[in-house]
Structure 1
């Protein structure tokens, strides 16, 4: 796949924050509960009381909010000012008195990272492959984990030629005007949803018709916003599960949880633990 930094222009970067601010209008207690479970279960905990939680590239802020609901002291940051604003808006609505700090920052900014310190849980779900330097971003994120702490990350799966094709689609999206963007979204929806009608008929037959606008995806997400995020999300890098495993194992981390996308489209999800200091 082409290097994410190759030919990268300033306007190539997808405006994630714009999408997240739109998504946050949908956030309610149902979505928050789904996000809480999506954080809690892979970490293997009942709560995060007494622990610190760092959300790297916080986006909408939904999973920072989930950690706050689990009792953690939360710190969030994002490169995109609109994402920071989106997370701040979510905090104002659902956790105005919570122990939750939000700021601008980049995981690739060494000066910024040095002043953060370390955390009991470092969360970077679907973020580091959009930085333009995936492995430097994983390296920097791993240094933020306290001894005995956990790093919870997900990285787009390497599909070989298909990933190279999506790289070109994503770059084209960000270099195009509104009409081409809409066409790319429609084409991607048709391709990704080519097997959906049968599943939807089965779902309707077994559970009754549910308005698509009210569907809550796993992790509390939204189909429409996830689609825009997928087609537009650039820079874009991928890795195999083995590459991520070897990279963090060589830095002393031990794998505690793994969920793969079965070699297909999507993210592979990992929880690693840094060994405690003896």
Structure 2
């Protein structure tokens, strides 16, 4: 049994790959189009033609596929074997002949990373805070960025006491049986989404069909919710911490979108000095600081995929 499977069985890790394997069944051209749009907007590019793209913790592979559609040569990897399977399924369905490599690997495995080299774009959306060693993972992701390249990363916002409560919820979820997990999903989603989960939880418990709602970035509200409640390990950070760490490693901030101090991910695009990969420095960097609503207005998007 591999490391990720053992951690899942012990309740020390959420089955991310299992959740996103289910999500792959929902992927269609509409979701792919949304994912492509979000990459274009954040990176400030029309395409990624001739660029290399590393998808760290690729999950379902949706954003690897989006990068491929934009013209990039893509390398995807994930610690979770089921996530790798998900990405392979997605490639088989939508890009069977793509210049797109998918393999098992960990951002915390220095020997593995040393074999990869560097990339024009390194994408790690909602991943590094689930490694159990977020800052080490962040530093490792930085090392994958080529001169002039971009690091596109999203990390959970530090809400202080509320983040500690969510940590306890996630730990309990992974160490409990189906009944407790269902209760935690119902309670958490009622808090975040208000009335929406009541019908969905009823459908789930009765074995009926689940109504899926497409979210920003092409994601699924239901699968994001499962990922949010179960997503463990779980670490958080403040924007000023991330920006300071990036600057200490000679990366400049190109784009920042926060969740307004609430629940969810803060999103960063960081640039290493050197040749440009196409994203333009904003004339007024403060103009890229975008605040979204608090926890009830802006539900979390959990894992990147």
Q: TM-score, normalised by structure 1?
A: 0.90
1:109 aligns with 2:109: yes
2:216 is aligned to 218
1:60 is aligned to 60
Q: Distance in 2 between matches of 1:235 and 1:267?
A: 15
| Superimposed CA distance per residue, residues 232-267 of structure 1 (whole angstroms, 9 cap, x where no aligned partner) | 000000000000000011100010000000000000
What's the CA shift for 1:11?
Answer: 3.0
Q: Give the alignment partner of residue 264 of structure 2, picking from 263, 266, 271.
A: 266
| Superimposed CA distance per residue, residues 49-99 of structure 1 (whole angstroms, 9 cap, x where no aligned partner) | 000000000000000000000000000000000000000000000000010
Paired residues of 2:121 and 2:149 also in contact (CA < 8 A) = yes
* Unaligned stretches of 5+ residues in structure 1: 1-7, 198-211
1:238 is aligned to 236
Q: Distance in 1 between matches of 2:9 and 2:22?
A: 25
Paired residues of 2:212 and 2:221 also in contact (CA < 8 A) = no
Q: Distance in 1 between matches of 2:246 and 2:10?
A: 30
Q: Distance in 1 between matches of 2:238 and 2:9?
A: 26
Secondary structure in 1 matching 2:255: strand
State how 1:32-181 maps to structure 2 within 5 Å: 32-181=32-181
Secondary structure in 1 matching 2:46: coil
| Superimposed CA distance per residue, residues 88-112 of structure 1 (whole angstroms, 9 cap, x where no aligned partner) | 0000000000100000000001110
Q: Distance in 1 between matches of 2:158 and 2:212?
A: 32
2:30 is aligned to 30
Secondary structure in 1 matching 2:211: helix
Matched residue pairs, number? 257
* Unaligned stretches of 5+ residues in structure 2: 1-7, 198-209, 276-305
What's the CA shift for 1:195?
Answer: 7.4
Paired residues of 2:20 and 2:59 also in contact (CA < 8 A) = yes
Q: Distance in 2 between matches of 1:252 and 1:196?
A: 44
What's the CA shift for 1:194?
Answer: 2.5
What's the CA shift for 1:134?
Answer: 0.4
| Superimposed CA distance per residue, residues 158-181 of structure 1 (whole angstroms, 9 cap, x where no aligned partner) | 000000000000000000011111
1:251 is aligned to 249
Q: TM-score, normalised by structure 2?
A: 0.82
Paired residues of 2:10 and 2:175 also in contact (CA < 8 A) = no
| Superimposed CA distance per residue, residues 198-222 of structure 1 (whole angstroms, 9 cap, x where no aligned partner) | xxxxxxxxxxxxxx93531000000
Q: Distance in 1 between matches of 2:72 and 2:10?
A: 36
1:182 aligns with 2:169: no
